[in-house]
């Protein structure tokens, strides 16, 4: 699709994408991104060219997310029209264009929604098998794994936006052992931003689940493996995970990913409330680099449990999801060695170090390391991407 905005051919952000975000310049406003520009929804609404309710003036997308698919569709259609090459309204209004279409480099991005609760699943069969094999070589997958999407409740207070440095955490790593973690890791994940929630006691049916997804972001679930392995029994991850979790700033709507809808891996039989048919996931390339060296190349479609299964399971007991809640996929690993989504798997708990481009070895992350996750769907001559979520490790304090 053609737009009057100058978008490089290899951009993650063509007219087909239009992901939502929040930026600060002289105020804090909601926006969409196209090429290397942000389009200020407040400015468009103020000028009367985009019919938007008052809550979009808040500088937070949570209320808009809660409106649901029809509101998202109407807004996306109008924005696509306003930015199309043959549409003059915004293109030829120099004053409005100057106010509403701003170079990305001049603005500061902020958290797109207010995240109330954050859940992290464990939905990659390969990841669960690889990690399980290190601790239980005879039976890597726990008996429940093929019957339900396993998850833990994370912590929203330590969610941060891309670019924020991560301080190496201290913690207990054994009886009487305390200090900065010596096995700091990344986890390459994708997270769903919940739009409309559900009332307490009213589960979301699997066939309705995608209507509750405002869009997807990339997520790095920073993990301290030595702290995690000492503390996790019997109640699961705690301080080895909740010191920092980074997300990418752009919420990519499922509507933008529709051309890449595809079936997931074959599944063992599941209970009726988890039974799904058809194309339940998306073909999204995912990549992680350490200091610029690619270390993981995987794909969202490898995940065993789908987004809709995660939502159906999360709410089957009546648990209410709320707008802005974040549901992360778990580490996205795949069938090939290069598709392993964290260092724990890639280096087999540090026993087989990776060699980076500068010749240095990595068992786990070192101070000064920069981890960057990217993701994109590849089309014919264009692509729809997430941008990146990046963070640098700072020494323990």
* Residue nearest to Mn ion according to CB distances in the complex: 221
Q: How far is the CB of 185 from Mn ion (least distance, A)?
A: 10
By CB under 5 A, residue 16 contacts Mn ion: no
By CB under 5 A, residue 126 contacts Mn ion: no
Site string (204-243) toward Mn ion, x via CB under 5 A? -----------------x----------------------
- Based on the residue annotation, tell me whether 127 is a catalytic residue of this protein: yes
CA distance 223 to 177: 18
By CB under 5 A, residue 120 contacts Mn ion: yes
Q: How far is the CB of 219 from Mn ion (least distance, A)?
A: 8
Q: How far is the CB of 212 from Mn ion (least distance, A)?
A: 21
Among residues 29, 127, 212, 313, the one annotated as catalytic is 127
**Of 18-26, 133-141, 175-183, 184-192: span binding Mn ion (CB under 5 A):** 184-192
By CB under 5 A, residue 187 contacts Mn ion: yes
**Of 76-84, 114-122, 255-263, 264-272: span binding Mn ion (CB under 5 A):** 114-122
By CB under 5 A, residue 388 contacts Mn ion: no
Site string (286-325) toward Mn ion, x via CB under 5 A? ----------------------------------------
Q: How far is the CB of 154 from Mn ion (least distance, A)?
A: 8
Q: How far is the CB of 225 from Mn ion (least distance, A)?
A: 12
Catalytic machinery residues? 127
Binding site for Mn ion (CB under 5 A): 120, 187, 221
């Amino acid at each position: 699709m053609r737009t009057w905005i100058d978008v490089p051919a290899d951009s993650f952000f063509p007219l087909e994408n239009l992901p939502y975000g929040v930026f600060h310049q002289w105020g804090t406003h909601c926006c969409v991104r196209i090429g290397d520009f942000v389009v200020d929804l407040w400015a468009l609404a103020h000028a009367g060219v985009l019919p938007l309710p008052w809550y979009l003036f808040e500088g937070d997308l949570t209320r808009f997310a809660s409106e649901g698919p029809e509101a998202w569709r109407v807004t996306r259609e109008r924005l696509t029209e306003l930015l199309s090459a043959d549409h003059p309204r915004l293109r030829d209004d120099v004053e409005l264009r100057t106010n509403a279409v701003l170079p990305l480099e001049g603005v500061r991005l902020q958290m797109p929604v207010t995240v109330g609760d954050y859940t992290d699943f464990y939905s990659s069969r390969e990841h669960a098998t690889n990690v399980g094999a290190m601790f239980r070589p005879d039976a890597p997958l726990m008996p429940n794994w093929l019957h339900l999407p396993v998850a833990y409740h994370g912590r929203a207070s330590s969610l941060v936006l891309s670019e924020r440095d991560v301080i190496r955490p201290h913690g207990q790593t054994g009886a009487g052992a305390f200090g900065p973690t010596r096995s700091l890791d990344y986890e390459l994940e994708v997270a769903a931003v919940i739009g409309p929630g559900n009332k307490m006691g009213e589960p979301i049916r699997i066939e309705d689940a995608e209507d509750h997804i405002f869009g997807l972001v990339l997520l790095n679930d920073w993990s301290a493996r030595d702290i995690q392995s000492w503390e996790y029994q019997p109640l699961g991850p705690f301080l080895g995970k909740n010191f920092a979790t980074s997300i990418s700033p752009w919420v990519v709507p499922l509507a933008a990913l529709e051309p890449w809808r595809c079936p997931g891996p074959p599944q063992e039989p599941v209970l009726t409330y988890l039974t799904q048919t058809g194309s339940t996931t998306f073909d999204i390339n995912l990549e992680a680099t350490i200091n610029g060296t690619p270390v993981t190349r995987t794909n969202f479609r490898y995940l065993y449990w789908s987004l809709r299964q995660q939502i159906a399971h999360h709410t089957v007991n009546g648990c209410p999801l709320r707008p802005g809640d974040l549901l992360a996929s778990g580490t996205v690993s795949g069938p090939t060695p290069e598709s392993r989504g964290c260092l724990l798997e890639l280096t087999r708990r540090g026993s087989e170090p990776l060699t980076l481009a500068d010749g240095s070895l990595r068992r786990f992350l070192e101070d000064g390391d920069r981890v960057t996750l990217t993701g994109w769907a590849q089309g014919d001559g264009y692509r729809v991407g997430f941008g990146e979520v990046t963070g640098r490790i700072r020494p323990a304090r």
